[in-house]
Amino acid sequence: MSVLNNRPSIDDHAPRLERLFSLNPSELSYPIEEITGEVPDFLGGTYYLNGPARFARAGLQYRHWLDGDGMVCALRFERGHVGFTNRFVRSHKFVAEETAGHPLFRTFGTAFEADQLKRGMALESPVNVSVYPYGRRLLAFGEQGLPWALDPLTLETRGVFTFGARLNEISPFAAHPKVDPATGELFNFGVAFSATQPMLHVYRCGAHAQLRYRKRLRLDYPCSVHDFSLSPRYAVFYLSPYVLDMQVLIQEGRTLLEALRWEPERGIQLRLVWRDSGEEAATIPIGQRYCLHLINCFEADHRLMVDVIEYDRPLYDQYQVVPDLFTAVSAGQPVRFVVDMKRHEVLARWELDYRLAPDFPSIDRGESHNRTVMSGCSASRRPAAVDGSSSINWCMQTGKKRPPATCIRHRRGNTLEANRSSSVIRVIRKQGRSCVRSSMRRT
């Protein structure tokens, strides 16, 4: 427990967080034998996790959290037994650098002499952000490119996934797609960062990977967009003016992080897209803040509720220098926008009275839309020096915290949360991985 600046005490679920930044991690597969606590008997299935894992190669040490090569982990539960497997994603970047024996490609926050860009204008993705099941497939995603298919059991890389050759290596494709559990459809987006004609590409793919539509919607500025949300009728985008200057990115020695500029005076927009057609429904100005991850959106009483975490400014500069992260992270605030679905106007903006630094929000789709779980950001090597590492379980509607759930702590630092009245299990913290947003449904 820690008390900081008279803030409330919070649980630190990730002590010694800096240990996660291994410079050269191993690929392993083993049964987990030391478990503190009790594995619930209802727990069965596999939890998958992706994140940056290799932070150095041939003497070059990456600076930024998002630079590392993607490694997927599988935590498999079966009749009280737990097994663990991890493997790197054999992306184009990983294979080429393994073959060369040294780094070849510029990364998000690290540039070096004679580094390369993909087609001279983009990063070669380390495929290090997320992993999602899609039908019987397992797909690993990077920030800006097609996903990679993995063997769900062994995690061996099968190859880049092109949705039946309807998409290709220059198709912008983001790292947090949404799969409708009712239909199996996958929705996603990507940003084309043209200075003169920036576009938001919106995709809808069927359960069998057939591309149902791809729409190109005009953006007012070429902004970084990392996430979106789905309601029954809408795809919802929070467009913050975190603008990518391609002319900076293509310069020698400049990183993508350096090419991003925060220009709040441009104003932010809530972009509503019709989910059935991919056409724009509305663009609504909503202020001057920043959002990295949306929490959720849903519809009730002819109103669209859009739940997000807002910050005063972007966070990516706080993801460095590895392993010292979040040394001065700005406060984040869970916010709900209530939108009239007929007039497409914001009727209300609700804030939770919370000014720490949560991120990676998740909801329990088996429960109320009003429940959300978030993880806190921490300064490594200093226990909760800024905001603490915490799991925060809130009711968005009342602002009240939920009762604590059952926690299982794995000896290597994973923490699972399982609520017996819930239909999902969440990993609150996983050593060495970021963007923890997946959930595992009970079987």
**What contacts 262, CB < 8 A, 6 or more positions away?**
241, 242, 243, 290, 313, 314
Distance CA(8)–CA(323), nearest Å, equals 26
Shortest Cβ distance from residue 79 to Fe ion (Å)?
33
Buried/exposed 130-151: b ≥16 CB within 10 Å, e otherwise:
bbbebeebbbbbbbbbbbbbbe
Q: How would you classify residue 281: left for phi > 0, otherwise alpha for psi between -120 and 50, otherwise beta?
A: alpha
| Identity of the residue, 43 or 174, whose beta carbon is nearer to Fe ion in the bound complex | 174
Residue of 135, 54, 44, 36 lying closest to 83 (CA atoms) = 44
| Identity of the residue, 10 or 435, whose beta carbon is nearer to Fe ion in the bound complex | 435
- DSSP 3-state assignment of 74? strand
| Identity of the residue, 77 or 316, whose beta carbon is nearer to Fe ion in the bound complex | 316
Shortest Cβ distance from residue 150 to Fe ion (Å)?
19
- Positions in the binding site for Fe ion (CB under 5 A): 435
| Identity of the residue, 230 or 408, whose beta carbon is nearer to Fe ion in the bound complex | 230
Shortest Cβ distance from residue 292 to Fe ion (Å)?
7
Shortest Cβ distance from residue 360 to Fe ion (Å)?
7
Closest residue to Fe ion using C-beta atoms: 435
The alpha-carbon radius of gyration of the chain (Å, integer) is 21
Shortest Cβ distance from residue 108 to Fe ion (Å)?
13
**What contacts 90, CB < 8 A, 6 or more positions away?**
148, 156, 157
- Contacts by residues 79-82 (CB-CB < 8 Å, ≥ 24 positions apart): 79/44, 80/39, 80/41, 81/31, 82/31, 82/32, 82/35, 82/39, 82/410
Shortest Cβ distance from residue 293 to Fe ion (Å)?
6
3-state helix, strand, coil in the chain (%, to 5): 5, 45, 50
Helix (H) or strand (E) holding 259: helix 256-259
Residue of 417, 421, 420 lying closest to 436 (CA atoms) = 417
Distance CA(220)–CA(215), nearest Å, equals 16
| Identity of the residue, 392 or 435, whose beta carbon is nearer to Fe ion in the bound complex | 435
| Identity of the residue, 82 or 239, whose beta carbon is nearer to Fe ion in the bound complex | 239
Shortest Cβ distance from residue 208 to Fe ion (Å)?
27
Distance CA(320)–CA(360), nearest Å, equals 18
- Strand order across the beta sheet in which 290-300 lies: 290-300, 303-311, 332-340, 345-351
| Identity of the residue, 223 or 435, whose beta carbon is nearer to Fe ion in the bound complex | 435
| Identity of the residue, 82 or 335, whose beta carbon is nearer to Fe ion in the bound complex | 335
Compute the residue count for the chain. 443
| Identity of the residue, 43 or 127, whose beta carbon is nearer to Fe ion in the bound complex | 127
Shortest Cβ distance from residue 127 to Fe ion (Å)?
13
Shortest Cβ distance from residue 383 to Fe ion (Å)?
25
Q: Are 239 and 271 in contact (CB under 8 A)?
A: yes
Q: Are 324 and 391 in contact (CB under 8 A)?
A: no
Neighbours of 14 (CB within 10 A): 27
| Identity of the residue, 236 or 435, whose beta carbon is nearer to Fe ion in the bound complex | 435
**What contacts 301, CB < 8 A, 6 or more positions away?**
none
Q: Where are the alpha helices (DSSP H) in 27-173?
A: 92-100
| Identity of the residue, 97 or 307, whose beta carbon is nearer to Fe ion in the bound complex | 307
Shortest Cβ distance from residue 144 to Fe ion (Å)?
13
Shortest Cβ distance from residue 70 to Fe ion (Å)?
13
